[in-house]
C-alpha cells in the first residue's frame, strides 16, 4: 500500500479548477472521451486536440476469458500492414487524453490501440478521488490480467491489418510501469517508451514483480522518460533500475528532465511541461523508428 500512497501523492495537486471548467463537463460518456473526476482540475487551455481527418477511429471490443474488453483504435484510413503502438493509460483509464495520444500516433502512420485494462475492476473515470481510485480499482488489477489483455490486443492487431513484426508499446504513469513489464512479458515487441512509470515496489499477488526485477533479463529496448522533480519516483529508484539493466545486454536508456515532475506529458493537468512533453514525444517517435517499429 505504500507504493499506492506514493503514487497518489505524486499525482495530487493543490491547484484549483482552471478557466471555469465544470467537473461535470469532463465526465466519461464513451471510451476515449471526457476526463476522470479524480484527475481534476483540467487545464483546458493546454489540452491538445488531434482531429480524425484521414483516420479510422473508434472503439473495438475484444473477448478475453469471457470478458468484453473495449479498445480505443486510431489508424490511417484504408491502410494495412501498419506498424502498431499499444498505448497504456495512466490510472485514469482510456479518457480523452489517451485517445488523443492514440490519434497522434495514427497521424504518424501507426495503428494505435488503447485497451481499457480496468474494465473488470470498474470505471476509473467515476472515482471521486485518486485515493478511491487506487483503493477500489488499481490495487485490484493484477499484472497477469493486464498482460493477457495486451496479448489479446496484439493478436487483434495482427489479424486486422497490423504488421506483426513492427509492434511497440508506450504508457504513462501506471502505464509506464506496465510498458516495462509487458516488454519483458512479450519479447516480440520491438521497443517500448515508458513515461514516468514506477520502477520498484513491494511484491504481492497483484504485482508480484516490478521493472527492477525483470531488468536483467529484458531484451526489448525501452526508453524511460522521467522527471527529476517527481516526488513519487526517486532518482535512487532510477539508479537501481540502471544498475539492474547493466547486468544484461539491453539497449534501454533514460532521459530525466530537470524541470519536470510527474505527469509532465499530461497536457490536461497542471503538471504539464510543454517543452519536455514535446521533446519526449520527439524522442519517442525517434526511438520507435530506430528500433524497427515504424
Catalytic residues: 173, 230, 262
Question: Which grid cell sits at 185?
Answer: 512479458
Other Cβ atoms less than 10 A from the Cβ of 100: the count is 18
The burial class, CB within 10 Å (0-12 / 13-18 / 19+), for 45 is exposed
Nearest residue to 221 via CA among 247, 257, 183: 183
Residues counted in the chain: 294
Q: Three-state SS across 52-94?
A: CCCEEEEEEEEEECCEEEEEEEEEECCCCCEEEEEEECCCCCC
Which residues, including other chains, have CB under 8 Å from residue 128's CB and lie 6 or more apart? 37, 38
Amino acid at each position: 500500500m505504500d507504493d499506492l500512497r506514493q503514487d497518489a501523492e505524486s499525482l495530487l495537486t493543490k491547484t484549483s479548477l482552471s478557466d471555469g471548467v465544470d467537473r461535470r463537463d469532463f465526465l466519461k460518456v464513451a471510451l476515449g472521451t471526457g476526463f476522470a473526476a479524480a484527475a481534476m482540475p483540467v487545464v483546458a487551455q493546454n489540452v491538445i486536440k488531434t482531429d480524425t481527418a484521414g483516420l479510422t477511429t473508434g472503439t473495438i471490443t475484444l473477448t478475453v476469458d469471457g470478458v468484453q474488453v473495449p479498445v480505443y483504435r486510431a489508424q490511417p484510413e484504408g491502410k494495412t500492414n501498419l506498424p502498431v503502438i499499444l498505448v497504456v493509460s495512466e490510472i485514469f483509464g482510456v479518457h480523452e487524453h489517451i485517445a488523443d495520444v492514440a490519434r497522434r500516433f495514427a497521424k504518424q502512420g501507426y495503428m494505435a490501440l488503447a485497451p481499457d485494462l480496468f474494465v473488470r475492476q470498474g470505471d476509473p473515470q467515476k472515482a471521486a478521488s485518486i485515493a478511491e481510485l487506487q483503493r477500489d480499482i488499481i490495487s485490484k488489477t493484477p499484472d497477469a490480467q493486464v498482460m493477457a489483455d495486451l496479448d489479446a490486443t496484439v493478436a487483434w492487431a495482427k489479424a486486422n491489418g497490423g504488421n506483426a513484426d513492427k509492434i511497440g508499446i508506450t504508457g504513462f504513469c501506471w502505464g509506464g510501469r506496465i510498458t516495462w513489464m509487458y516488454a519483458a512479458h512479450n519479447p516480440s515487441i520491438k521497443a517500448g517508451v515508458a513515461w514516468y512509470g514506477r520502477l520498484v515496489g513491494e511484491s504481492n499477488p497483484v504485482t508480484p514483480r516490478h521493472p527492477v526485477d525483470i531488468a536483467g533479463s529484458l531484451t526489448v529496448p525501452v526508453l524511460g522518460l522521467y522527471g527529476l522533480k517527481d516526488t513519487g519516483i526517486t532518482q535512487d529508484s532510477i539508479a537501481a533500475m540502471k544498475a539492474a539493466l547493466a547486468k544484461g545486454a539491453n539497449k534501454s536508456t533514460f532521459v530525466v528532465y530537470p524541470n519536470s515532475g510527474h505527469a509532465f506529458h499530461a497536457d490536461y493537468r497542471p503538471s504539464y511541461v510543454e517543452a519536455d512533453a514535446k521533446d519526449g514525444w520527439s524522442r519517442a517517435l525517434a526511438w520507435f523508428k530506430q528500433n524497427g517499429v515504424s
